[in-house]
Amino acid sequence: MLLRRLNRAVRRLPFSLLLLIAAPFIVEVLIHVWQYQVPRPTTDLDAPFFTSCQEPDVGAERENAVFVMLARNKELHKAKKTIRSIEAQFNKWFNYPIMFLNDEPWDPNFVTELNETAGGKGIFEVIPKEQWSYPDWLDQESAKESIQQQGKAGAPHAGLEGYHHMCRFYSGKFYQLDVLKKYKWYWRLEPSVDFTCAITYDPFVQMAKHKKVYGYTIALWEVGKSCPGLFRATADWKQSKRVPSSSLWNAMMEASWMPFPFRRLLSWVPHRDTYGDAWSLCHYWSNFEIADMDFFRSKTYQDYFDYLDRKGGFYNERWGDAAVHSLAVAMLADPQQVHHFEDIGYRHDTFYQCPANAPGGQLPGSLSLVKNEPWTTEAAGGIGCRCQCDGKELRNFGTYCLDKLKQPNTPKRGWFS
């Protein structure tokens, strides 16, 4: 009744008057959305470290770094596949130690076989219970029930208790492990991964040299139903700590087009902050990571992790470490400190990145690279070294969140461009 009367009243108003009333709202919305525009740099903010094969400098000084793979005894073959691949494409030259982590005691057979595949550089550790279990203060019964329900609702892996422990572990507890304390850098591996290009330089050294803290290969969209409350918790923490919004943070956001007084009502919708603006769900896929552990060991990051942990979302929802790391990096690192390894060929499950080979940059006569062939065709603009892409070259995944602000005015790259 009231609505109908209002409607009739509005219809009797002249159009120009309506426009006059609406104008301040429209202007406010435009200013609001404009604030989330990220600046385009004049030069590439994050150029590849190298754009062709290098003669591996086996005598060069190494960084204090370690490979880390979380695996189970039954994943022997999948683990071997990854280690064979990284050894052949990189580690036979650079010889970094490879640490295997398990939440259960290692099967001696796994240890023998993987140590052999890793060329004797294997370290085998068991994760202490307190880093791989429910926090004391969490109501386990209700968490278990929730996990069951999440499984039925169908978010990927959300019905598996161990998966939740794993996400919590990689989000925060990982960086507290005693056995990792002596290292600064890690390169995360996963069972069943292919590295499809030769990596002929030392990424740790380049990360350190260019003052990077976080490196990735693939960016994706998070599955929204796995983490309805994660972004709000993150944004609340950010606000309470008065962390300013960097351009990288803004690049992860989608500003709301809702006019001012109503915008805040959107804060009740998942993936939105208290002002009603949304996270785009963009995140770096964390099964490949090369990163500085000091960033994640910092008091600030650990405080953020504890805040999330207290919210219970690692169990009552299925907050993933990829999203947690990505949001933290966007919040706490400078945009220049993030590196996209566009030159590394990487495949896990059905997702891959495989660059085209750099024309004239394949060092055909190199004795070090003699086993890293044959490689697929070279193509203009290619930056890969001896990549074998299976006809999939150039089909890189878009790296939406970072690419928005790192490249000078290049057309937006799609998922398969």
Ligand X SMILES: *[C@@H]1O[C@H](CO)[C@@H](O)[C@H](O)[C@H]1NC(C)=O
How far apart CA 185 and CA 167 sit, in angstroms, is: 20
Rounded Cα–Cα distance for residues 302 and 298 (Å):
6
The yes-or-no answer on residue 373 being catalytic is no
Q: What are phi and psi of 312, to 5 degrees?
A: 80, 5
Q: Which of 75, 87, 289, 342 is catalytic?
A: 289
122/320 with CB nearer ligand X:
122
Q: Report whether 175 contacts 289 (CB < 8 A).
A: no
Residue 341 tokens read as 């390894």
Which residue, chain included where needed, has tokens 């065709």?
A: 377
CB of residue 174 to ligand X, shortest distance in Å = 21
Site string for ligand X, 111-150 (x = CB under 6 A): x---x----x-x-x--------------------------
Strand bridging mode 253-254 / 122-126:
unpaired
Q: Which is nearer to ligand X, 104 or 303 (CB)?
A: 104
Whole-number Å distance between alpha carbons of 209 and 198: 21
| Owner of token pair 């006569």 | 365
What angle, rounded to 10 degrees, do the helices at 161-171 and 140-153 form?
110
**Measuring CA to CA, which residue among 164, 356, 338 is closest to residue 251?**
338
Question: Coil, strand or helix: which one is 61?
Answer: coil
Whether the Cβ atoms of residue 226 and residue 153 lie closer than 8 Å to each other: no
- Given the complex with ligand X, which of 80 and 318 has the nearer CB atom? 80
Min separation Cβ 68 and ligand X, Å: 15
Provide, rounded to whole angstroms, the least separation between the CB of residue 97 and ligand X.
Answer: 10
Nearer to ligand X, 97 or 229 (CB): 97
**CB 176 to ligand X: min, Å:** 23
Q: Does the CA dihedral 237-235-226-300 come out positive or negative?
A: negative
With CA atoms as reference, report the closest residue to 163 among 148, 175, 182: 148
Instruction: Identify whether the C-beta of residue 49 lies closer than 8 Å to the C-beta of residue 206.
Output: yes
| Minimum CB–partner distance for residue 120 and ligand X (Å) | 3
- Closest contact distance (angstroms) between CB of 137 and ligand X is 37
CA nearest 52: which of 396, 355, 405? 355
Cα 196-211-325 angle, rounded to 5 deg: 65
Q: Is the peptide bond before 374 cis (omega within 30 degrees of 0)?
A: yes
State the nearest-atom distance from the C-beta of 124 to ligand X, in Å.
5
Which residues inside 73-112 make contact with ligand X, applying CB under 6 A?
A: 111
Q: Is 283 helix (H, G, I), strand (E, B) or coil?
A: strand
Place of tokens 């552990």: 293
Provide the minimum distance between the beta carbon of 111 and ligand X in the complex, in angstroms, as a whole number: 6
Tokens of 128: 């202490």
- The smaller minimum CB distance to ligand X, of residues 120 and 364, is found at 120
* CB-nearer residue toward ligand X: 122 or 384: 122
Which residue number is nearest to ligand X in terms of Cβ?
120
Q: Which is nearer to ligand X, 108 or 364 (CB)?
A: 108
Alpha-carbon distance of 129 to 110, in angstroms, equals 21
- Whichever of 110 and 319 has its CB closer to ligand X, that residue is 110
Residues involved in catalysis: 289
Q: Which residues bind ligand X (CB under 6 A)?
A: 111, 115, 120, 122, 124
